[in-house]
Structure 1
Amino acid sequence: MSTSPEVIEDSAPDPAPSGGGPLPGGNPLPAATLGGEKKRSVEQLALLLFIFVPFVALVAAIPLAWRWGGISWLDLALMAAMYFIGCHGITIGFHRYFTHGSFKAKRPLRIVLAVMGSLAVEGPVVRWVADHRKHHKFSDAEGDPHSPWRFGETLPALMKGLWWAHIGWLFDEEQTPQGKYAPDLIKDSAIRTVSRQFALWTVVSLLVPPLVGGLATWSWTGAFTAFFWGSLVRVALLHHVTWSINSICHAVGKRPFKSRDRSGNVWWLAILSCGESWHNLHHADPTCARHGVLRGQLDSSARLIRWFERFGWAHDVRWPSASRIRSKRAVAPSSAA
């Protein structure tokens, strides 16, 4: 039996009372992740480590790769494979499926997508979805967890806002109430379990590359370089690409579609973001399964969803029709930017 997530669009009302209490006529929802509505100090410290250590590796990657030849084809393959597994887990699973209900999935695919997204090391699935649903409800307005326009429109305010939208908001003590914004996921025992096991999936994500690298080369050096490139550098790169959708794509970019916020299309992030940087259409039509709808707009996430549909793993996909795309245009197609 297939299930689909609750769809929350930009203008949708709150799905449940705030605070994660009982739903009307139901029992209290079980907690999806450890902790309450505020981040604990141990969570803040762990977050700092998982941002700082991979970032240092990312900075060191360029001289290691080009001056000292510190990357092998195996390291590169492991980095690319783990990157795009995690990236598509976020874009297809956490974002288009769990947050917006762009398609319905059979239960095995539903669980696989939750695990794949968890391998990106961007937080538990329920927390990620709750944050993003809140973002859409208040996009670039008061209440948005990570708008770059939070502090105003002057250049100094925007620079401060870009930092906040990119990284700063992650350290905000207040958390989005998961019972309010993601009650459908909390009620799903399998997804709730995957969310609670985020620490386990983080360990798996970090240890797979050195395990493969060590066994393939039968050396500790092979394990170490695979860990450096396939774990640390990969995590840092994926983090900053994902965070760039929150910051860069809400500050610059073309806006050929009507939306009530400042979401823009940033072409040079399209491949690394697996199609997420066609962000203007997404905010104009949040439940659409394809974000890159115009000619030449690469969207690998939409391509994979199409394959899932053909294999029978996904159905009721919300593909954009030509008439719907026209209705979302900000200007006539002939004069669009």
Structure 2
Amino acid sequence: MTEGEVSSTASGQTGHGPGARRKTIDSPYIHRLQRRHFLLFDILPILGTVAAVAFLAVRPFGVTDFALLFGMWLITGLGVTVGYHRLFTHRTFKARPWVTWVLAVTGSMAGQGPVVSWVALHRRHHEYSDREGDPHSPNLSGQGWRGRLRGLAHSHFLWMRRHEYPNVVHYAPDLIKDRALVRISRLYYYWVLLGLALPAVLGGVLTMSWTAAVSGLLWGGLVRIFVLEHIVWAINSFLHMFGTRPYESRENSHNGGVFALATLGESWHNNHHAFPDSPSFGLDWYRLDPGFWLIKSLAVLGLAWDLKVPSRTRIAAKRITPGSTRPAT
């Protein structure tokens, strides 16, 4: 779904009082768009992954396939964590315009939604995290193991089939004022296609083989989307139930440090919810956070600035000590 398809609906929605604006939009038209996106970018990569495994009978998995899978995963994953999440959603740093455009495009190639929609959804998640109104909490589906399983399934995957669409006019007014970002967002489907075409072309050109082009499309395109999606979704689902919790926050977020590299730093999830304005999710140098490494590298090159890393005093003030009372979730 793109902002071009929903912007007129969003700007035209008003609340109950004069001049009020609804925070979310719930309409059959938007739900059709959500189902289309779910089928194209959530179900199709599963089928593509099955096809990639079947294609091994034609072309064994090789160095080129691994390089395309890893390279495209890294580029698009950094586009999501550094661009979509830390820059556009939380404004944890500032960057030169062309850097923001590159991050918006590479994030779009991940197939997780247009940048403006993604930001609106994530800002709503932080506003209502693990409470009624959170679009993907795993903790609102009942008690006991059945409720926890229903919650995990909803949070990890099923919520994307149909949900209230956050009004971008309310949740992302800063982004819709940026013409370049709005244009990138409206071209979302083209960026996803570019993310599929690039590994196919590279695979074919590097080996001068049609089978390598198909393999590049499968491994660097569809399998890469599948892998990255489930990494990101696991943060929303499992890390709102399991893991360590060193800092006070008003929801049920946890850290999963063992997955720090695979998530490019996103698995320091409790740290992030405790300090959402921080570009560093690890908070300490020894906690692996590749997303922050990229931001620091951009800062060294003069391409990023105003990194809002919290002070040690502020971090210590939120640390949960033995015997302290945790906030209700």
2:66 is aligned, of 54, 69, 76, to 76
Following superposition, the deviation at residue 21 of structure 1 comes to 5.2
Stretches of structure 2 that go unaligned for 5 or more consecutive residues are 1-8, 20-25, 323-329
Are the aligned partners of 1:291 and 1:302 in contact in 2 as well (CA < 8 Å)? Answer: yes
TM-score w.r.t. length of structure 2: 0.86
Deviations 1:29-68 (A, max 9, x none): xxxxxx9895252541342132222113335656866x88
- Is 1:155 the counterpart of 2:152? The answer is no
Are the aligned partners of 1:250 and 1:262 in contact in 2 as well (CA < 8 Å)? Answer: yes
More helix by share: 2
| Partner SS state of residue 254, structure 2 | coil
Are the aligned partners of 1:64 and 1:71 in contact in 2 as well (CA < 8 Å)? Answer: no
Following superposition, the deviation at residue 227 of structure 1 comes to 1.0
| Residue pairs, 1:105-184, within 5 angstroms | 105-184=95-174
Counterpart of 1:3?
Answer: none
- Is 1:88 the counterpart of 2:64? The answer is no
Between 209-218 and 168-177, the greater mean CA deviation after superposition = 168-177
Give the length in aligned residue pairs: 304
| Partner SS state of residue 39, structure 1 | helix
| Partner SS state of residue 264, structure 1 | coil
Are the aligned partners of 1:58 and 1:237 in contact in 2 as well (CA < 8 Å)? Answer: no
- Is 1:48 the counterpart of 2:27? The answer is no
% identity of equivalent residues: 40
| Partner SS state of residue 165, structure 2 | coil
RMSD, aligned CA: 2.4
1:316 is aligned, of 297, 306, 313, to 306
**CA distance, structure 1, for counterparts of residue 127 and residue 84 of structure 2:** 17
**CA distance, structure 2, for counterparts of residue 160 and residue 72 of structure 1:** 38
Are the aligned partners of 1:70 and 1:225 in contact in 2 as well (CA < 8 Å)? Answer: no
Q: Return closer, same or farther for 1:116/1:49 CA change in 2, 3 Å cut-off.
A: closer
TM-score w.r.t. length of structure 1: 0.84
**CA distance, structure 2, for counterparts of residue 108 and residue 36 of structure 1:** 36
**CA distance, structure 2, for counterparts of residue 60 and residue 194 of structure 1:** 30
- Is 1:197 the counterpart of 2:187? The answer is yes
> Match of 1:322, as an amino acid?
R
Counterpart of 1:102?
Answer: 92
Are the aligned partners of 1:127 and 1:178 in contact in 2 as well (CA < 8 Å)? Answer: yes
1:299 is aligned, of 286, 289, 308, to 289
**CA distance, structure 2, for counterparts of residue 152 and residue 324 of structure 1:** 35
Counterpart of 1:12?
Answer: none
Following superposition, the deviation at residue 321 of structure 1 comes to 2.5
Stretches of structure 1 that go unaligned for 5 or more consecutive residues are 1-17, 29-34, 333-337
